[in-house]
Amino acid sequence: MTEIMNESPEKSPDAAEPEVLVEVSDAGVATVTLNRPKRKNGLNKAMVDQAIDALEAIWGDDRCRVVVLTGAGTSFCSGMDLSERILPDEMTFMRRVGHLCSLLHDLPLPVIAKVRGGAVGYGANLALCADLVVAGDTATFGEIFAERGLSIDGGGSWLVPRLVGLGRAKEIMFLASRVSGPEAGEMGLVNRCVPDAELDALVDDWAGRLADGPRRALSVIKQQLNKSFERSFADAIESEAVAQALSFRSKESREGAKAFFEKRTPDFRSC
């Protein structure tokens, strides 16, 4: 592993380490770890700023081919750390945390959220901003905003209805539901729920496969799918035509075709 970002000038008073750790493997898997385990990875200004810096660095780093987002310790993210002041003010802070969500959503790389333990409030929706969400069987997704007298943040008002349908989303949000990992898997809130002991292996497998995949093509596929609910069918067809015409001319496409005829696995890294 090679660290690409492991320190920041701004740390919480109780933090001996950075609030966000980033490592990039030789295979191009960038692991972003929320690192306030004593606070169950509750978000504060320093963590948000460091996470934004980390994702922007990954965006510009050609070594990176896939991102894994996870939390240190026993929880993924407990949401906002309400024991700390919201700085510099509520609107500025919320726009910053919204920008963090947008970076995950728009990043031209596949993002996998690996969720152990609690993913609560903003933490639940931060996980759902990833392209793929893999949960351990002890995970809990707590959409507890109404219970705190708060409205939704973290992109949850956009994400959850698309994942489970509007009616189920209203049930979850209105009743401040806590959805277990197995329940989340059954209703389609997450892609997979596996025993905690198998979580690392499954995420490693998916991350490795994506890192070996066609970087450019996966970026275009992500962009097309993210826009699918906002486009008409005709617009989708035209977008696909333009993207595929360009793809046919790419090195990835030529390698994929060559590998097919040679009956071997494509080496997209050579592209």
CATH number at residue 222: 1.10.12.10
Residues 147 and 228 in one domain: no
Residues 186 and 219 in one domain: no
Element (H, E) at 20: strand 20-24
- Of the candidates 43, 44, 21, the one whose C-alpha atom is nearest the C-alpha of residue 32 is 21
Alpha carbons 63 and 142: distance in angstroms, whole number: 35
The distance in angstroms from the start CA to the end CA of the chain is: 23
How much is the pLDDT for 128?
98
Alpha carbons 164 and 186: distance in angstroms, whole number: 10
Alpha carbons 39 and 216: distance in angstroms, whole number: 38
How much is the pLDDT for 8?
45
The residue type found at 29 is V
pLDDT tens for each residue of 186-213: 999 999 999 999 999 999 999 999 999 9
pLDDT tens for each residue of 141-177: 999 999 999 999 999 999 999 999 999 999 999 999 9
How much is the pLDDT for 110?
98
Residues 80 and 68 in one domain: yes
Q: Is 236 left (phi over 0), alpha (psi -120 to 50) or beta?
A: alpha
DSSP 8-state symbol, 64: -
Q: Which of 164, 185, 211 is the last residue of a domain?
A: 211
DSSP 8-state symbol, 147: G
Listed as ranges, residues in the chain with pLDDT below 70 are: 1-16
Residue showing tokens 């351990």: 136
pTM of the model: 0.93
Residues 52 and 38 in one domain: yes
Alpha carbons 259 and 253: distance in angstroms, whole number: 10
Residues 158 and 264 in one domain: no
Residues 206 and 236 in one domain: no
The residue type found at 113 is A
Residues 191 and 265 in one domain: no
Q: Which of 163, 187, 211 is the last residue of a domain?
A: 211
Residues 249 and 129 in one domain: no
Alpha carbons 22 and 1: distance in angstroms, whole number: 10
Residues 22 and 128 in one domain: yes
**Could you give phi then psi for residue 135, rounded to 5 degrees?**
-115, 145
Domain extent, residue 222, equals: 215-270
Give the residues across from 120 on adjacent strands.
Answer: 142
Q: Name the E strands within 45-151.
A: 66-71, 111-115, 118-120, 132-136, 140-142
Q: Which residues contact 108 (CB under 8 A, 6 or more apart)?
A: 59, 219, 222, 223
Tokens at residue 93, please?
């802070």
Domain count, the chain: 2
How much is the pLDDT for 248?
95
CA 68 to chain centre: 7
**Cβ count within 10 A of residue 98:** 13
Q: Which of 170, 191, 211 is the last residue of a domain?
A: 211
**Could you give phi then psi for residue 189, rounded to 5 degrees?**
-70, -35
Residues 249 and 202 in one domain: no
How much is the pLDDT for 2?
52
Give the residues across from 43 on adjacent strands.
Answer: 80
Residues 141 and 248 in one domain: no
- CATH number at 129 reads 3.90.226.10
Q: What is the mean pLDDT of the chain?
A: 94
Residues 171 and 253 in one domain: no
How much is the pLDDT for 5?
53
Q: Is 251 left (phi over 0), alpha (psi -120 to 50) or beta?
A: alpha
**Could you give phi then psi for residue 46, rounded to 5 degrees?**
-60, -45
